[in-house]
């Protein structure tokens, strides 16, 4: 196991506030949302139920869920002005930049005037994000102006239909639902903390979420699922994976999709998404991507005692579903938005501006030498 020093750099091990939304690694490896184990939710709930749970503190009844889904389904379309902005973003832009711009621009068109509108703003973004991603992707890559409304009941199914223009299989809908549940919430991770810092200044929901998207983009955080895919695609076999990873570790390169700031021996989401990757691999007939991923997992544990985080087997899972690699991290946005917005609401409910201190390491006090004498 990695011998981790707590405290110091990265605020590691220091409490930065309270939350009732989530526990991470409380018993060394667990993850709960509002008291529910994530594996229980992945087995027995839908993503919309989890979104409702995070925004309201309780799972919905049948009637509450139906009302909530009807509300979300009525908010899926994009304003024409946003479509026109998305049309201007080039095909080689990073899709996370597209999400950031889409979120920010929607905040201009439909601003959160006051905090009584916070649920509406969060739900609007939740409903609109799949279309922001897929409208831009289809327009810039295929030259197609897609209809942003579908008859799909779930957000996961809606995303798949917008992306491919075809009704997804029941299995793909379920995998997407599980994936969105696994990614939804994770306590004071870097992007959520960004959202809370922004919220603590009494800024608006769109600004909080835009900042969080920018923070999730980095490869040490949400960008790791995409980076893991780029890596495993370069490996030609399980043996080649081990040889190449040995070289990477030798050169002190980070292996994306491994390790975690909080978990010590495993990430509870890995076993769930790994099982889906295996199932999809077997059904696909070509299991090489899964076999290579398993070889990576074994090698990293055997040599460094580093384990797969939630991102690693998401890479092969999404790939088996035919999702383009560049959309992996934006899917994470569609899910984690629920956690971000719930934290913004929690921060607002008991706010004090977040403003830590710093340990000064600069020069001693000195006086300005006139410029011609320097």
Ligand X SMILES: CC(=O)SCCNC(=O)CCNC(=O)[C@H](O)C(C)(C)COP(=O)(O)OP(=O)(O)OC[C@H]1O[C@@H](n2cnc3c(N)ncnc32)[C@H](O)[C@@H]1OP(=O)(O)O
Catalytic residues: 260, 311
CA R_g for the chain = 22
Question: Rule CB under 6 A: is residue 1 a binding residue for ligand X?
Answer: no
Question: Rule CB under 6 A: is residue 309 a binding residue for ligand X?
Answer: yes
Question: Rule CB under 6 A: is residue 296 a binding residue for ligand X?
Answer: no
For ligand X, give the closer residue by CB, 2 or 91. Answer: 2
Question: Rule CB under 6 A: is residue 259 a binding residue for ligand X?
Answer: yes
Stretch that binds ligand X, among 157-165, 283-291, 307-315, 359-367 (CB under 6 A): 307-315
Residue 40 — φ and ψ, nearest 5°? -65, -45
Determine whether 93 is exposed, middle or buried from the number of CB atoms within 10 Å of its CB (0-12, 13-18, 19+): middle
| Min separation Cβ 189 and ligand OAA, Å | 3
Question: Rule CB under 6 A: is residue 255 a binding residue for ligand X?
Answer: yes
d(CA 149, CA 120): 19
DSSP 110-123: S---SGGGHHHHHH
How many residues bind ligand X (CB under 6 A)? The answer is 18
- Determine the 3-state secondary structure of 255 from DSSP: coil
CB–CB of 311/77 below 8 Å?
Answer: no
Question: Rule CB under 6 A: is residue 306 a binding residue for ligand X?
Answer: yes
Question: Rule CB under 6 A: is residue 224 a binding residue for ligand X?
Answer: yes
| Min separation Cβ 340 and ligand X, Å | 13
259 binds, among ligand X, ligand OAA, none (CB under 5 to 8 A by kind): ligand X
For ligand OAA, give the closer residue by CB, 23 or 284. Answer: 23
342 binds, among ligand OAA, ligand X, none (CB under 5 to 8 A by kind): none
Judged by the rule CB under 6 A, the positions of this chain that interact with ligand OAA are: 186, 189, 261-262, 309-310
What are the counts of helices (DSSP H) followed by strands (DSSP E) for the chain?
A: 16, 3
- Paired tokens of 360: 């000064």
* CA neighbor of 98 nearest in space, from 330, 337, 318, 323: 330
Residue 364 — φ and ψ, nearest 5°? -65, 160
Q: Which residue ranges make up the site for ligand X (CB under 6 A)?
A: 2, 4, 220-222, 224, 254-261, 306, 309-311
């Amino acid at each position: 196991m990695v011998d981790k020093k707590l405290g110091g750099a990265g605020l590691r091990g220091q409490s930065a506030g309270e939350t009732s939304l989530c526990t991470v690694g409380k018993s060394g490896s667990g993850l709960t949302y509002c008291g529910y184990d994530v594996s229980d939710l992945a087995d027995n709930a839908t993503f919309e139920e989890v979104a409702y749970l995070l925004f309201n503190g309780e799972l919905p009844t049948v009637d509450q869920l139906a009302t909530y889904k009807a509300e979300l389904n009525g908010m899926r379309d994009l304003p024409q002005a946003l479509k026109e902005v998305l049309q201007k973003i080039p095909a080689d832009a990073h899709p996370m930049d597209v999400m950031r711009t889409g979120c920010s621009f929607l905040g201009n068109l439909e601003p959160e005037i006051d905090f009584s509108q916070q649920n509406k703003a969060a739900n609007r973004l939740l409903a609109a994000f799949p279309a922001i991603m897929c409208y831009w992707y289809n327009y810039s890559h295929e030259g197609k102006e897609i209809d942003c409304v579908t008859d799909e009941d779930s957000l996961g199914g809606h995303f798949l239909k917008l992306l491919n223009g075809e009704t997804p299989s029941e299995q793909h809908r379920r995998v997407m639902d599980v994936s969105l549940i696994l990614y939804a919430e994770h306590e004071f991770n870097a992007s959520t903390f960004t959202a809370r810092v922004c919220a603590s200044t009494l800024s608006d929901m769109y600004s909080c979420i835009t900042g969080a998207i920018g923070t999730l983009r980095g490869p040490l955080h949400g960008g790791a699922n995409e980076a893991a895919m780029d890596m495993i695609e370069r490996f030609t076999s399980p043996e080649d994976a081990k040889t190449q990873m040995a070289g990477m570790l030798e050169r002190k390169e980070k292996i994306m999709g491994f390790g975690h700031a909080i978990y010590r021996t495993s990430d509870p989401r890995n076993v769930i998404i790994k099982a889906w990757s295996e199932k999809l691999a077997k059904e696909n007939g070509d299991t090489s991507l899964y076999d290579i991923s398993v070889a990576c997992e074994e090698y990293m544990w055997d040599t460094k005692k580093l384990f797969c985080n939630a991102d690693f087997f998401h890479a092969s899972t999404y790939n088996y579903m035919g999702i383009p690699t560049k959309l992996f991290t934006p899917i994470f946005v569609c899910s984690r938005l629920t956690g971000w917005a719930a934290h913004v609401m929690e921060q607002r409910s008991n706010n004090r501006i977040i403003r830590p201190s710093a340990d000064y390491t600069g020069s001693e006090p000195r006086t300005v030498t006139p410029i011609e004498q320097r």
